[in-house]
Structure 1
């Protein structure tokens, strides 16, 4: 006999869950990932207890908001493994990663913190995305299209740092692209 599957939410609980997610998206967009959880609950017309029943931590709320985005980046990396140009595929993915990280101010720091915290709800999704990106980087290295002496984790950390710097420069929307180009030049093998 197989174990029972996850219980379905009642209609009112589902409405509350969706309302909290929609409000959190707006609040995180306006105020960054440090937005007040109490204000999110209040703007949703719900109590803080309801928010915590659905999302016991800020990371759980972020995971619910970001899960599909992170899984999408992992899937995109998997699809790009078949691209005939490993280096171009890697850069397309790193560009998508940096562009999508701008959804909420403070997100790069939140994601970097979860990479070290196995108890965080974001940990597994972030690691799946990073593992998929690392496979693209290793493929470009194996093809001799980027330096082999750089760890994929370091390339991903540099992409995260570039995203953070771009977040600090909202008046210069091209900064991330320029910094990614510098990273690309630094990793080039001369091919």
Structure 2
């Protein structure tokens, strides 16, 4: 295990704190150069700590991802697998719409760095898979639905509603509509 020097640990924490503010203000495309300037370090220092934009976003959203993982674990043994999965999807929707850039961090498009491309989604997947499998076994979700499908769905909703006056409410409304379906059951 490599031990980081105290100044390197301070720089890492400072860069991360500045990045959180910049991403909150400007979304996932926040300027790495501006982050470096505000943190009082060079861009090479930012790159040393976070080799890609995706790695930086993964770190910025790490706490939120950990909270979502914990929520999935808490819900994994709930009495109603459908309600548990929908509760988790609502929590993901709330997180994705409340943090500018989080939806971009959840994108599974390969991005700018294959090692970090799906870091947020992969971290969520392991915790959500048991929740989804229980809902599938209960007949509450179609068997072909994957965790990646659900994350992609919520990501799309968050991106589509990002500029709405109330993104969280609109994304949640669309999630409810999606779960219900667009045509009445016969």
Matched, 1:26 2:36: no
In structure 2, the partner of 1:181 is 176
Q: Write out per-residue CA displacement over residues 118-146 of structure 1, whole angstroms, 9 at most, x where no aligned residue.
A: 823252442131243233223112112x2
- TM-score by length of structure 1 reads 0.83
- TM-score by length of structure 2 reads 0.85
Q: Write out per-residue CA displacement over residues 16-36 of structure 1, whole angstroms, 9 at most, x where no aligned residue.
A: 111100100000000111011
In structure 1, the partner of 2:36 is 41
Q: Does 147-156 or 87-96 show the bigger shift?
A: 147-156
- Measured on the aligned residues, the alpha-carbon RMSD in Å equals 2.4
In structure 2, the CA distance between the partners of 1:139 and 1:186, relative to structure 1 (3 Å rule), is farther
Q: Write out per-residue CA displacement over residues 7-60 of structure 1, whole angstroms, 9 at most, x where no aligned residue.
A: 222111111111100100000000111011000000111111111111111111
CA distance in 1, matches of 2:39, 2:17: 8
* Among 64, 70, 73, the residue aligned to 1:75: 70
Gaps of 5+ in 2: none
CA distance in 2, matches of 1:115, 1:77: 25
CA distance in 1, matches of 2:151, 2:93: 10
CA distance in 1, matches of 2:111, 2:20: 24
SS in 2 for 1:84: coil
In structure 2, the partner of 1:154 is 149
Gaps of 5+ in 1: none
Total equivalences in the alignment: 182
Q: After TM superposition, list the pairs within 5 Å mapping 1:102-117 onto structure 2.
A: 102-113=97-108
Question: Which stretches of structure 1, 4 residues or more, deviate above 3 A after TM superposition?
Answer: 113-118, 170-173
Paired residues of 2:97 and 2:167 also in contact (CA < 8 A): no
CA distance in 2, matches of 1:131, 1:116: 21
Paired residues of 1:28 and 1:105 also in contact (CA < 8 A): yes
SS in 2 for 1:168: coil
Matched, 1:16 2:14: no
In structure 2, the CA distance between the partners of 1:172 and 1:67, relative to structure 1 (3 Å rule), is closer
